[in-house]
Amino acid sequence: MTKNSGIIVTLKAAATLDGKIATATGCSKWITGEAARQKGHELRNENDAILVGINTVLTDDPELTVRGIQEGSSPVRIVLDSKARIPEQSRVFKQDGVPVVIVTGSHAPLRIWPELADLTILTAPTRTPDILWVLSEISKLGLKSLLVEGGSLIHASFIKSNTVDQLVLFLAPKVIGGQKALSWCGNLGVDSVDDAPQMEISSVTALGEDWMISAIIK
């Protein structure tokens, strides 16, 4: 639990055995199978909010909703969008009664936002929203748990900020390879193996052909 916010943060990623979340052309559907994807929806149902970065929205246009769970509840949708680039037609803006929070940077241009009954715009005091600031602000909205679904740069930002309570990594028995294919975690600025964040694996679970690894960062 992040001390400054009281929010429990779970970072979730789906990757190939070589850690890739998409091909060099951006194709990412579907890396994992149905059982792993269903478990992902269970994680969404268990959390108050779900967070992605603008690149994930621009690339995949996700709904970020809970599906396939009886009486499931979709979490508050949060998008980190420093430059306020999110298209008005993005599916996160669908009129389904689920609150939406857009977090922009201090130099984001002024724009007209969609007319949603429950849309909150948070403007950070910095060009790129600081993760600790984001968690502090969304905690004021009454949120107690957060599922971070990416992408690569967002994952790296949360790990560097030392705010991740649990890592849930879905691994598919596939290999994409290539230097230009995105890995699930972006640049952490690690120059020595000894400086790499250390994980403590708490469980490894088979989900169909895939594996779910749960871990905490030491």
Q: pLDDT (tens digit, 9 = 90+) per residue, 73-88?
A: 999 999 999 999 999 9
Residue 117: band (very low, low, confident or very high) from pLDDT cuts 50, 70, 90: confident
Contact between 41 and 168 under an 8 Å Cβ cutoff? The reply is no
User: Strands 76-80 and 49-53, how do they pair?
Assistant: parallel
23-37, 151-165, 194-208: which has the minimum mean pLDDT?
23-37
CB contact at 8 A, 76 and 48: yes
94-to-77, 86, 195 alpha-carbon distances in Å: 11, 13, 43
Domain covering 8-217: architecture: 3-Layer(aba) Sandwich (3.40)
What pLDDT band is residue 29 in, cutting at 50, 70 and 90?
Answer: confident
190-211: per-residue pLDDT in tens? Answer: 889 988 899 999 999 999 999 9
Amino acid 166: pLDDT: 96
Read off the pLDDT of residues 178-194 as tens digits, 9 standing for 90 and up.
Answer: 889 989 999 988 889 98
Q: Are 29 and 37 in contact (CB under 8 A)?
A: no
> Can you tell me the mean pLDDT for 125-136?
97
Q: What is the pLDDT of residues 47-68, one digit of tens each?
A: 999 999 999 999 899 999 998 8
**What's the pLDDT at 118?**
93
Residue 109 clears pLDDT 60, i.e. is over it = yes
Question: What are the boundaries of each domain within the chain?
Answer: 8-217
Note whether 62 and 95 are within 8 A (CB): no
* Percentage of residues of the chain with pLDDT beyond 70: 98
pLDDT of 110: 93
| pLDDT given for residue 212 in this prediction | 97
Q: How far is 137 from 146, CA to CA, in rounded Å?
A: 13
Q: What is the pLDDT of residue 92?
A: 95
- The pLDDT score that the predictor gives to residue 95 is 87
Averaged pLDDT, 17-36: 90
